[in-house]
């Protein structure tokens, strides 16, 4: 027996015991959970589910918070998920209705007219009838109640999917916002470097005119200047596309948020003291894990319902008839007749329909268990990946900070020495290129760390509220 098959069988037994008690699958029934995260930080705090609801506020960027809140209201995917909740609530109502009797009512009227030739008198008679016909398939062995439980689990799963859509959307908006601010910051770095490069071009041109420099020096400095300028259109394209992405996620037309996003802001800074808790807390918080649990519960109930198709069914039907000579006397009728009929039926031969349906539902139950296992494993991996990314990008930023400090000093010193004729132009240009590259890397890494933090909040199940 394979390892995964053994886990599935154990989970099915666990689910059976849980269903008898509270109808919920125990976390850890399929995948053994670690007691702690491998890459937790020393300053990590217990999971704060209330703070996770609006984790974006911890970046202390009012524009970011406003855009996310707006998107959670207007986004098309979230609105669709909300509509599906209403759909599945009505579906559960249909299943519940099957537990109750149905009542049909009918009414008829007739009249007759006859003429006596001997007396030449015409006789007219009228008759009015009304009938009530109740029918009820008694849920003798709980098959219909299991269908109601399955529908309730479906509804709960759709609710969790709605919460999951909120989690995903908040992270997508935040990531697009970080991309926007990163492109703006990189553009500012490039534009700031152009001043130094223009100054170098001017110096080489003057030296060439004075006969102390060469045309090669001039062209090399111009090439370095234009190389930096060539990155500007690409960064401007990224800015425009990021703005459009944010408007799309907000369910709006391009340009609708330009007034809000037009003022340049820094790349959001990662908050300190991340509250990550333990793996079990995260799995209880994540909507996708909770949705997978509800999927298992629905599949389990449908398997049990299919198995009870083998059992007999009890149908009750009846009628209550009322007859009166006048329409106004239906509530004071001359005659009332009623009957009740009960029938017990069991399937003897169905060409394997019930057996095959049981097999279908059993396999779907296994698939739901496997999907739950995959969701749990994905959740654990996402948190670990986000944690290590936050740590490594923080380390890289610290190293880049030291490199940039040294590079700025090198640019200043080489510029002074070039003016004094003490060093070659290429040394000064190389230092300028190095500084620009390091400053751009710092912006990109700062954005990477912010995105890693966003992914960590998403992996912890933050960004949704049941209200």
Spell out the domains of the chain, with CATH numbers in brackets.
3-99+141-311+353-459 (1.20.1600.10), 101-138+312-345 (2.20.200)
- Residue 27 to residue 422: CA distance in whole angstroms: 71
Residue 130 has pLDDT above 50, yes or no: yes
Q: First CA to last CA across the chain, in angstroms?
A: 45
Span 318-357, pLDDT tens digits:
665 555 545 455 455 555 555 666 666 777 777 888 899 8
Q: Could you report the per-residue pLDDT of 10-35, keeping only the tens digit for each?
A: 444 444 434 433 445 666 567 788 88
pTM, whole model, 2 decimals? 0.82
Q: Specify the pLDDT at position 467.
A: 60
pLDDT of residue 24: 58
Burial of 141 (0-12, 13-18, 19+ CB in 10 A): middle
Q: Would you state the torsion angle of the CA atoms of residues 289, 293, 299, 305, taken in this order, to the nearest 10 degrees?
A: -160
Element containing residue 457 per DSSP (H, E): helix 425-459
Nearest 5°: the CA angle 156, 158, 159 is: 60
User: For helices 231-249 and 215-229, what crossing angle results, to 10°?
Assistant: 0
Region at 377 (left for phi over 0; alpha for psi -120 to 50; beta for the rest): alpha
* Under 8 Å between Cβ of 18 and 24: yes
User: What whole-number distance in Å separates Cα of residue 78 and Cα of residue 167?
Assistant: 10
Query: Three-state DSSP class for 358?
Result: helix
pLDDT at position 276 is 83
Give 7 or 257, the one with higher predicted confidence.
257
* CA pair distance 305, 186, nearest whole angstrom: 61
Q: Rounded to whole angstroms, how far apart are CA atoms 370 and 349?
A: 34
Q: Sorting pLDDT into bands at 50, 70 and 90, what band is 278?
A: confident
pLDDT of residue 390: 93
In the chain, what percentage of residues exceed pLDDT 70? 80
Q: What's the rounded mean pLDDT across residues 267-296?
A: 88
Note the pLDDT tens digit of each residue in 427-442: 888 898 999 999 999 9
The first and second tokens of residue 238, run together, are 């990224």
Shortest CA distance to 75 belongs to which of 325, 315, 248, 306?
248
Instruction: List CB contacts of 150: < 8 A, sequence separation 6 or more.
Output: 95, 297, 298, 299, 301, 302, 305
More confident residue, 141 or 298: 298
**Helices (DSSP H) in 27-124: which residue ranges?**
49-53, 62-74, 76-97
- The predicted pLDDT at position 3 comes to 46
Which one has a higher pLDDT value, 132 or 89? 89
How does pLDDT run across 57-98, given as a tens digit for each residue?
A: 999 999 999 999 999 999 999 999 999 999 999 989 988 887
More confidently predicted of 128 and 171 = 171
Please name the residue that has the structure tokens 């069914």.
Answer: 313
Class of residue 421 by CB neighbours under 10 A (exposed 0-12, middle 13-18, buried 19+): exposed
- Mean pLDDT across the chain: 83
pLDDT-based confidence at residue 6 (cuts at 50, 70, 90): very low
Task: Please tell me the predicted confidence (pLDDT) of residue 340.
Answer: 60
Residue 411 CA neighbour count, 13 Å, CB half: 22
| Confidence tier at 273 by pLDDT (50, 70, 90) | confident
Going along 20-157, which residue ranges are E strands? 102-116, 121-138
Give the pLDDT score at 29.
64
Least confident stretch, 98-112, 317-331, 381-395: 317-331
Q: Does residue 127 register a pLDDT over 60?
A: yes
Identify the pLDDT of residue 14. 44
If you average pLDDT over residues 376-382, what whole number do you get? Answer: 94
Name which of 25-29, 157-161, 246-250, 412-416 the model is least confident about.
25-29
Residue 72 and residue 251 in contact, taking contact as beta carbons nearer than 8 Å? no
| Dihedral pair phi/psi, residue 103, rounded to 5° | -135, 120
- Residue 151, pLDDT score: 92
Residue in the structure block whose two tokens are 């948020």: 257
Alpha-carbon span 273 to 290, nearest angstrom:
27
Sign of CA dihedral 77, 82, 86, 92: positive
Mean pLDDT of 402-406: 96
The predicted pLDDT at position 1 comes to 43
Q: If we measure between CA atoms, which residue out of 27, 5, 3, 32 comes closest to residue 15? A: 27
What is the greatest pairwise CA distance in the chain? Answer: 147
Q: What is the pLDDT of residue 361?
A: 92
- Only one residue has tokens 């009728």, namely 333
Amino acid 330: pLDDT: 46
User: For residue 114, is pLDDT > 70?
Assistant: no
Instruction: Say how far apart CA 179 and CA 64 lie, in whole Å.
Output: 12
Q: Give 3-state DSSP helix, strand, coil % of the chain, rounded to 5.
A: 65, 10, 20
Q: How much is the pLDDT for 12?
A: 42
């Amino acid at each position: 027996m394979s390892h995964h098959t053994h886990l599935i069988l154990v989970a099915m037994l666990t689910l059976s015991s849980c269903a008898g008690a509270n109808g919920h699958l125990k976390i850890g029934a399929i995948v053994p959970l670690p007691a702690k995260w491998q890459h937790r930080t020393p300053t990590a705090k217990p999971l704060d589910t209330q703070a996770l609801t609006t984790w974006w506020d911890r970046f202390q960027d009012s524009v970011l918070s406003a855009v996310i809140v707006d998107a959670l209201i207007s986004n098309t995917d979230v609105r669709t998920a909300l509509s599906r909740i209403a759909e599945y609530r009505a579906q559960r109502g249909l299943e519940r209705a099957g537990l109750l009797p149905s009542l049909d009512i009918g009414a008829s009227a007739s009249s007759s007219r006859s003429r006596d030739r001997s007396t030449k008198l015409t006789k007219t008679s009228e008759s009015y009838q009304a009938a009530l016909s109740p029918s009820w398939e008694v849920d003798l062995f709980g098959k219909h109640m299991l269908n109601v439980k399955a529908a309730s689990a479906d509804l709960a799963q759709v609710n969790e999917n709605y919460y999951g859509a909120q989690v995903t959307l908040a992270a997508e908006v935040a990531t697009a916002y970080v991309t926007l601010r990163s492109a703006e910051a990189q553009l500012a770095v490039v534009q700031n470097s152009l001043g130094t490069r223009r100054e170098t071009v001017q110096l080489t041109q003057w030296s060439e005119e004075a006969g102390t420099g060469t045309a090669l020096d001039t062209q090399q400095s111009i090439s370095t200047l234009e190389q930096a300028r060539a990155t500007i259109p690409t960064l401007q394209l990224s800015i425009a596309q990021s703005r459009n992405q944010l408007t799309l996620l907000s369910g709006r037309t391009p340009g609708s948020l330009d007034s809000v996003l037009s003022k340049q802001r820094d790349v959001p800074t990662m908050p300190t003291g991340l509250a990550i808790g333990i793996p079990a807390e995260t799995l209880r918080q994540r909507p996708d894990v909770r949705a997978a649990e509800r999927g298992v519960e629905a599949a389990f109930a449908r398997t049990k319902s299919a198995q009870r198709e083998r059992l007999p069914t009890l149908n009750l039907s009846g009628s209550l008839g009322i007859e009166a000579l006048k329409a106004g006397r239906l509530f004071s009728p001359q005659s009332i007749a009623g009957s009740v009929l009960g029938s017990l039926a069991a399937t003897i031969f169905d060409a394997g329909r019930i057996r095959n349906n049981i097999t279908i539902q059993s396999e779907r139950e296994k698939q739901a268990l496997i999907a739950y296992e995959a969701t749990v494993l994905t959740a654990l991996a996402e948190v670990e990946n986000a944690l290590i990314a936050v740590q490594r990008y923080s380390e890289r930023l610290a190293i880049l900070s030291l490199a940039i400090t040294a590079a700025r000093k090198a640019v200043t010193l080489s510029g002074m020495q070039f003016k004094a004729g003490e060093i070659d132009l290429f040394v000064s240009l190389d230092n300028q290129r190095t500084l620009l590259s390091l400053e751009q890397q710092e912006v990109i890494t700062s954005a990477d760390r912010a995105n890693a933090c966003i992914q960590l909040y998403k992996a912890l199940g933050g960004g949704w509220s049941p209200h």
